[in-house]
Amino acid sequence: MMNIQSAYNSGVAGYNQATERVAESANNIAQQQVNKPQTEEATETQRAVSQARPIEESLINLRVAENEARTSANVIETADEVIGSLIDTRV
């Protein structure tokens, strides 16, 4: 029973990490849109910010987070099914 709980906890932790990655990536995308230089007279700082975190990297991180969340949800679901099977077996 202890290993099942551990699997469940790992699934929840993975899902939480995926949620944090989504929030961070979404924030990065929003910041890039706000800080995007509009003219050639943009400051060096604005150029550095827009180059430091390319939007493509944030979009890739969103996809990675989606996969992490899906995998973690599968782990949680499997742990739940195993617990249900154990309860059915013991009753």
Question: Cα torsion for 74, 80, 86, 91, to the nearest 10°?
Answer: -150
| Percent of the chain whose predicted confidence (pLDDT) is above 90 | 47
**Residue whose entry in the numeric block shows the structure tokens 């929840």:** 12
pTM of the model: 0.69
Task: Give the mean model confidence (pLDDT) for residues 9-19.
Answer: 96
pLDDT digits (tens, 9 = 90+) for 59-88: 999 999 999 999 999 999 999 998 888 777
- According to the model, what pLDDT value does residue 51 have? 58
Give the number of domains in the chain. 1
Domain encompassing residue 80: 2-90
Beta-carbon count within 10 A of 68 CB: 18
- According to the model, what pLDDT value does residue 31 have? 86
Sequence-ordered list of residues with C-beta below 8 angstroms from that of 90, at least 6 positions apart, any chain: none
